[in-house]
Amino acid sequence: MAETPGQKTVVVGAGPVGSLAALYAAQRGDDVEVYELRNDLRDPSTTPLNFTRSINLALSERGIHALKNSGSDALLDHVFDATIPMRGRMIHGRTPTGDLYEEAQDYDIHGRTIFAIDRAGLNSRLLDVLEQLPNVKLFFNHKLTGADFRKCKAWFEIQDGSSNKNDRAREVEIDFDFMIGADGAHSAVRHHLMKYARMDYKQEYIDTLWCEFRIEPKADVSPVDPVSKFVISPNHLHIWPGRVFMFIAIPSDDGSFTCTLFLPSAEFAHLETQPDQLLPEFFDRHFPGVTSHIAPKDLISQFTQNPHLPLISINCKPHHFQASAVIVGDAAHAMVPFYGQGMNAGLEDVRVLFSILDKHAIQETNQPDSEGSDNGSTAVASVAKRGLALAEYSALRVPDAFAINDLALQNYIEMRASVLSPSYRLRKYLEERLSVHVPWLGWQTKYARVSFGNERYSEVVEKSEFQGRVLLGGLVGAVGLPVLTGLIVLLRWRLAGARGSNVLGTQLRGLFGWVASIWR
């Protein structure tokens, strides 16, 4: 009996998430084709979709776990060659007396770190691994223009400049068994998928724009001390909080820092009117110390030359259509960048997707009559099983996508304002001490659950909210019970002198009702 050929899996989007999806599919024996709108992403002249020179990313446990499970033994070491561990935030500010200060806030009391990595560097390493696989083909400058997810056909426009100016670009038609859309927030796969799936879709722009800046490495570098090339600590994510806006800096392995200004659109519009005069003064007032690392003239030139871009949040459901297509990463759940989970969530999508596909494939091969079936019936069974797997994936992943989108929006408030709040610091302190001294309780900070574990995002939210209620109840008990005891003693004393008083009974009922409402 002839061997059943591997399925043809088409991945649209060759960014980190799409590249990892292609690698997972290739490791399972699929014939994989990867189509990318842009030129080869390893080419320095290729313009990123967001039109910035570079964006540094934070790689955390979820992304690392997905890379580990890719089936490529060398991939993780290859990726980690270009990472920098960040053990926490470094908060910058000015004291009431006018002195500059830096305050480190570790992410984790157990010493775990996240890792700064350049997006282009990570992408290049993934593409290098893919290019070595015999069952993977890469197609750059291919724009998805149409898809029929019932007939499993797609059409791509070739944008390599080979057509004449007045001619329409050449178009190719391809067949596929399975398509994975990993083509970003403005996904063409999602656009065409919505014509077939009954997809709920929500897109939201927050009232904040962002602009990229760069802190250059030191000129005088010690050959024996690699850290000497950094002008500020390379092992922290640096934050200048401004209550309603902020400036951050993330290290790069060349000694520079990729910096980002997050600012309401009205503030951007104001600064754009007279950047030469307004920008340095604005930075000195709100982000003290930055102009000692970026000269005012460089600050102005970077502000005027680099684009001021929006931040988008996207939720949709389901993430699939029948057995033919699924969307992952930003195509399914684009989020604001404030939790550093956009890429990590996308890489985790790939791991979760293929674990579910593998589970259903194993169930298929364990069927008693599977050995006697012909290729045609086996192919039909495979499609049916894939359809069940994709339905399970959507049902599992949609709540988590919604949860991390909400967490990312909430974390903007934490980064720009809560890091200065005594109540935020108290809760963090209590939760960390509980995780150390009574580990059997399973107590962790929300950030630790998100960044250093693989729990579902939706479960992280539930556990964090529960911990918050317990801490609030404990705090009220610790502070309020002595007061409550004193009030009860006082009321009993008054009761002795005023037995039968309706007023007193009302006071007692009100007091106990108030205590009960706090505990609820």
pLDDT tens, residue by residue, 107-159: 999 999 999 998 888 999 999 999 999 999 999 999 999 999 999 999 999 98
Our separate counts of H helices and E strands in the chain read: 15, 19
- Count how many domains the chain has: 2
Q: Is 357 found in the same domain as 471? A: no
* Strand ranges, E, within 188-330: 200-215, 236-241, 246-251, 257-263, 309-317, 320-321, 325-327
Tell me, yes or no, whether 438 lies in a domain: no
Q: Is 471 found in the same domain as 399? A: no
Q: Is 395 found in the same domain as 484? A: no
Between CA 188 and CA 183 the distance in angstroms is 7
Q: Is 164 found in the same domain as 84? A: yes
* Residue 81, pLDDT score: 85
Angle among Cα 58, 63, 66 to the nearest 5 degrees reads 165
Q: Is 468 found in the same domain as 346? A: no
Q: Is 466 found in the same domain as 394? A: no
* Residue 492, pLDDT score: 63
CA 233: distance to chain centroid?
Answer: 24
* pLDDT, tens digit, 9 for 90 and up, residues 264-287: 999 999 999 999 999 999 999 999
Tell me, yes or no, whether 173 lies in a domain: yes
* Residue 436, pLDDT score: 82
* Residue 75, pLDDT score: 87
Q: Is 397 found in the same domain as 339? A: yes
**Sign (positive or negative) of CA dihedral 343, 344, 347, 352:** negative
Reduce the DSSP state of residue 366 to 3 states and report it: coil
Q: Is 451 found in the same domain as 341? A: no
409 and 336 in contact (C-beta within 8 Å)? Answer: yes
Of 120, 142, 169, whose CA–CA distance to 19 is shortest?
A: 120
Q: Is 453 found in the same domain as 356? A: no
Ranges of the chain with pLDDT below 50: 1-4, 51-54, 370, 515, 518-520
Tell me, yes or no, whether 424 lies in a domain: no
CA 307: distance to chain centroid?
Answer: 22
Tell me, yes or no, whether 419 lies in a domain: no
pTM reported for the whole predicted model: 0.85
* Residue with token string 């918050």: 468
Tokens of 182: 């990993």
Task: Determine the structural domain holding residue 390 and report its residue range.
Answer: 8-366+376-409
Among left, alpha and beta (phi > 0; psi -120 to 50; other), residue 13 is: left
Residue 15, domain CATH? 3.50.50.60
Of 94, 29, 20, whose CA–CA distance to 64 is shortest?
A: 20
Tokens of 232: 């500020």
Q: Is 393 found in the same domain as 486? A: no
Between CA 174 and CA 12 the distance in angstroms is 12
Q: Is 309 found in the same domain as 193? A: yes
Q: Is 451 found in the same domain as 392? A: no
Tell me, yes or no, whether 425 lies in a domain: no
